[in-house]
Chains A and B, each alone.
Chain A
Amino acid sequence: MNKYLIEKIIFWIFRIMAFLVVGILFWILAFIAAEGMQVISWEFIFSMPKEGMTQGGIFPAIVGTICLMIGSMLFAFPIGVMSAIYLNEFLLPGKLKTFINLMTDNLAGIPSIVFGLFGMALFVNKLHLGDSILAGSLTLGLLVLPIIIRTTETALKSIDDTYRHASYAMGASKLYTIKNVVIPMAMPNIITGLILGMGRVSGETAPILFTVAAYFLPQLPDSIYDQVMALPYHLYVLATSGTDIESSRPMAYGTALVLIFIVLICNLTANFIRSIKN
């Protein structure tokens, strides 16, 4: 009887912990929504900021974030997927593979502000790209690269060798097999990695601080060499600097809400893709 009781208590503790996690999430969402919902409107989303950012909208920041999401992926996705294919399909287990995996993990562990500093030094200054979408995308690309490599590698690893063997047994080459059997089967998981990566990129503040983010730029970018506003930085600006913090506070929350919404869409899409695959 005693054991049964203890077990029940422990399971209840676990249950509470799980709900706690969900609860915290909802608390954050509710809190942000409560404070920020009031400013959400067509104007807020689609118009430029004015009056020292106490009025108007955050459209340029939204566009900027989307540009950076796409831009960073244009660099990180091809490089990441190709690296992962090399690592999983061509490289045999051994010292080299262990080393590369270790370095990839280390890359993933570098603080994002260090990426920002590096990006500034290399892309903005050394390569003379200046504060631009290009510099920002490259910097963010570096940051998200190890994530893409990891998720793609996992996706490829999850494809059982028996499918590769079935293809080889019919005379197909390794490359043909990768293209026609492995990648198609791993695609849902690879895309999931891509989308989750994009979601991650959308919220990174430090790397864009010295490479692309503009404080106040009430216009849309013309080229990749332009600066842009971005949601995370804009949130920071609205909440701490700005001409009138108190009145722009609601807009800060509104910005946070939009940012969370973007990340949420990314996660739900990734989930959806995973579920239709099954």
Chain B
Amino acid sequence: MNAKITVTDLNFFYGNFQALKNISLRIPENQVTAFIGPSGCGKSTLLRLFNRMNDLIEDIKLQGEILIDGKDIYSKNTDLIQLRKNVGMVFQKPNPFAKTIFENVAYGLKVNGVTNKAEITMQVESALTRAALWDEVKDKLNKSALAISGGQQQRLCIARCLAVRPEIILMDEPASALDPISTSKIEELILDLKSKYTIIIVTHNMQQASRISDKTAFFYLGELIEYGETNQLFMAPKIERTQNYITGRFG
């Protein structure tokens, strides 16, 4: 198994508060890895370390190492723009910009310096197709992105992320704000995408994690409690705390 992301002895602090304790794990390439755990366990925090979104917060401290493709992403020479091009993110609540559908998908391309109109148009169509949204919006690319449904908006956000051709996609509860049908479309999309991308998804929904992920990591109070094949973890977890969480007997 190729480890796309390797985390070693990671400790992470917000000010005096230690959000992550001694985390070590390897995220495999071209698979879906789910992070589960109760609120405040650190799963979203860890996710955001992979594209350095936590840099936006003042007074943080990171010990340990995060390697993507063998390279330390917190080294002094890391090109942040390149990192964020390579590691895309989809958020919990769909957040398309108040621009046209076309402009939304083209945004990342323009940020990364693509100016050729024909190139942009082609990439936009490609991204929307990969996000299974092209057929639904091809006739209204110039309409506002806010005029489509929530589920479509989320797929638009995924297209926006795909347009810059990342290798890794981070998803923070991408379907939690959506209705069941939109949710299942997103899940189908994720399964489709995993052959070409490495996907990490944070989710509160146990069934979702067991449906779509290959490996699952369970976090609790900043620690990695158990990490293994999804089928194994949901069939016969090795740690009692994991079992208590996934069967709902927590707290």
Residues on A lying within 8 angstroms of B by beta carbon are: 92, 160, 162-163, 165-172, 176, 180-181, 184-185
The bracket for how many chain B residues form the interface is: 20 to 34
A160-B95, A162-B91, A185-B98 given; A170·B58 CB < 8 A:
no
- The residue that A163 contacts in the complex, of B88, B95, B164, with Cβ under 8 A, is B95
Could you show 13 A-B contacts with beta carbons less than 8 Å apart? A162-B93, A165-B89, A166-B91, A167-B107, A169-B51, A170-B107, A170-B108, A170-B112, A171-B81, A171-B83, A171-B85, A171-B108, A176-B111
B197 at interface by CB-CB < 8 Å: no
Is B89 in contact with A169, judged by CB distance below 8 angstroms? yes
Which of A92, A172, A176, A185 neighbours the largest number of chain B CB atoms within 10 Å of its CB? A172
- In the complex, A163→B97 CA distance in Å? 7
Q: Mark B63-87, 1 if CB is under 8 A from A, else 0.
A: 0000000000000000011111100
Is B107 in contact with A171, judged by CB distance below 8 angstroms? no
Residues on B lying within 8 angstroms of A by beta carbon are: 51, 53, 56, 58, 80-85, 88-89, 91, 93, 95, 97-99, 107-108, 111-112, 157, 160-161, 164
List of B residues within 8 angstroms of A176 by Cβ: 111
A180-B107, A185-B97 given; A168·B56 CB < 8 A:
yes
Is B53 in contact with A168, judged by CB distance below 8 angstroms? yes
List of A residues within 8 angstroms of B53 by Cβ: 165, 168-169
List of A residues within 8 angstroms of B98 by Cβ: 184-185
- In the complex, A172→B80 CA distance in Å? 10
Apart from A165-B95, A166-B89, A166-B91, list 19 A-B contacts with CB within 8 A: A162-B95, A163-B97, A165-B53, A165-B56, A165-B89, A166-B160, A168-B53, A169-B53, A170-B84, A170-B107, A170-B108, A170-B111, A170-B112, A170-B161, A171-B81, A171-B83, A171-B84, A176-B111, A185-B98
Minimum Cβ distance to chain A for residue B99 (Å)? 7
- In the complex, A169→B99 CA distance in Å? 18
Is A181 in contact with B97, judged by CB distance below 8 angstroms? yes
Is A184 in contact with B99, judged by CB distance below 8 angstroms? yes
Is A170 in contact with B164, judged by CB distance below 8 angstroms? yes
- In the complex, A163→B94 CA distance in Å? 10
- The residue that B95 contacts in the complex, of A92, A166, A172, A184, with Cβ under 8 A, is A166
Minimum Cβ distance to chain B for residue A128 (Å)? 47
- The residue that A170 contacts in the complex, of B56, B85, B93, B99, with Cβ under 8 A, is B85
Name A181's closest neighbour in chain B (CB-CB).
Answer: B97
Minimum Cβ distance to chain A for residue B143 (Å)? 16
Is B164 in contact with A166, judged by CB distance below 8 angstroms? no
Is B91 in contact with A171, judged by CB distance below 8 angstroms? no
Name A163's closest neighbour in chain B (CB-CB).
Answer: B95
List of B residues within 8 angstroms of A92 by Cβ: 58
- In the complex, A160→B107 CA distance in Å? 18
List of A residues within 8 angstroms of B161 by Cβ: 169-170
List of A residues within 8 angstroms of B83 by Cβ: 171
- In the complex, A92→B57 CA distance in Å? 10
List of A residues within 8 angstroms of B89 by Cβ: 165-166, 169
List of B residues within 8 angstroms of A169 by Cβ: 51, 53, 84, 88-89, 161
List of B residues within 8 angstroms of A170 by Cβ: 84-85, 88, 107-108, 111-112, 160-161, 164
Which of B51, B80, B95, B164 neighbours the largest number of chain A CB atoms within 10 Å of its CB? B95
- The residue that B80 contacts in the complex, of A162, A171, A181, with Cβ under 8 A, is A171
* Interchain residue pairs A-B with the least CB separation, the first 6: A171-B84, A169-B89, A170-B108, A171-B81, A162-B95, A172-B111
- In the complex, A160→B58 CA distance in Å? 19
Minimum Cβ distance to chain B for residue A55 (Å)? 53
Name B110's closest neighbour in chain A (CB-CB).
Answer: A180
Name B79's closest neighbour in chain A (CB-CB).
Answer: A171
List of A residues within 8 angstroms of B82 by Cβ: 171
Minimum Cβ distance to chain B for residue A242 (Å)? 53
List of B residues within 8 angstroms of A165 by Cβ: 53, 56, 89, 91, 95
Minimum Cβ distance to chain A for residue B196 (Å)? 19
List of A residues within 8 angstroms of B88 by Cβ: 169-170
List of B residues within 8 angstroms of A160 by Cβ: 95
- In the complex, A170→B97 CA distance in Å? 13
Name B56's closest neighbour in chain A (CB-CB).
Answer: A168
Which of A163, A170, A176, A181 neighbours the largest number of chain B CB atoms within 10 Å of its CB? A170
Minimum Cβ distance to chain B for residue A190 (Å)? 14
- In the complex, A169→B81 CA distance in Å? 9
A92-B58, A165-B53, A165-B91 given; A171·B111 CB < 8 A:
yes
List of A residues within 8 angstroms of B80 by Cβ: 171
Which of B56, B91, B98, B160 neighbours the largest number of chain A CB atoms within 10 Å of its CB? B98
List of A residues within 8 angstroms of B99 by Cβ: 184
- In the complex, A168→B232 CA distance in Å? 37
